[in-house]
Amino acid sequence: MSTSRLTGPLPRQFRARLFGGAAALLLVSACGSTGTPGSTGTPGATSPTSAATPGAALGVATTSLGPVLVDSKGMTVYLLTADKPGQSSCAAQCLQFWPSVPAPGGKVPAVSGLSAPLGVTKATNGASMLTAGGWPLYTFSGDRAPGDVTGQGMVNFGGTWYVVSPSGMAVKAPPPSASTSAPAPDDGGGGGIGGY
């Protein structure tokens, strides 16, 4: 029985696929921590209560992090702290994992339930994308169903990713009513971290 072996340099197409696959695996493993500081476990989805109108560009849904913006499919919307008002910094590889929320026809849609001013800017790939409160808006490829918030608190592509409230602000903690666990008693040992 003979075995064949590759000799010489690998074909360019194979190297590109190999490199692309390795880069994706590295990114996924680097993004593996989806919890926020002080949380126990991964932020999970709840049954989303949506005020989104089917076919609307944006809407509001209630998740485990409270009311958040969602796209036309009900998927959670995020902002990136590395962005500037009206300016996206999420380039080609970033957009593979964090697709921009498109602006239908390059126009600002009318959306009920939002207090954030909506706008339109250009993604780094030239496509029109929506902004809320000036922040460019994205979804996360790791979210599988409406109500998922698995991208919350991820640090990659130059900043931190947060879900977006209806006022256009980053949601950095779950609402107080979402916490059902009592704080741990102080053992007096001084091992705590500054009141956390």
Residue among 181, 172, 142, 159 nearest 68 (CA)? 172
pLDDT at 79 over 60: yes
Q: Got the DSSP string for 101-128?
A: -B-GGG-PPP-TT--SPEEEEE-TTS-E
Read off the pTM: 0.65
Q: What is the band of 152 on the pLDDT scale with cuts at 50, 70, 90?
A: very high
pLDDT at 161 over 60: yes
**For residue 39, what pLDDT is reported?**
32
Q: Which segment, 13-27, 93-107, 176-190, is predicted with the most confidence on average? A: 93-107
Chain-wide mean pLDDT for the chain?
74
**For residue 61, what pLDDT is reported?**
94
**For residue 177, what pLDDT is reported?**
62
**For residue 26, what pLDDT is reported?**
39
**Beta carbons within 8 Å of 62's beta carbon, 6+ residues apart:** 46, 48, 49, 50, 68
pLDDT at 89 over 50: yes
Phi/psi of residue 25, nearest 5 degrees: -65, -40
Q: What is the mean pLDDT of residues 4-20?
A: 46
Q: What is the band of 174 on the pLDDT scale with cuts at 50, 70, 90?
A: confident
**For residue 112, what pLDDT is reported?**
81
Q: What is the band of 183 on the pLDDT scale with cuts at 50, 70, 90?
A: very low
Q: Are 33 and 39 in contact (CB under 8 A)?
A: no
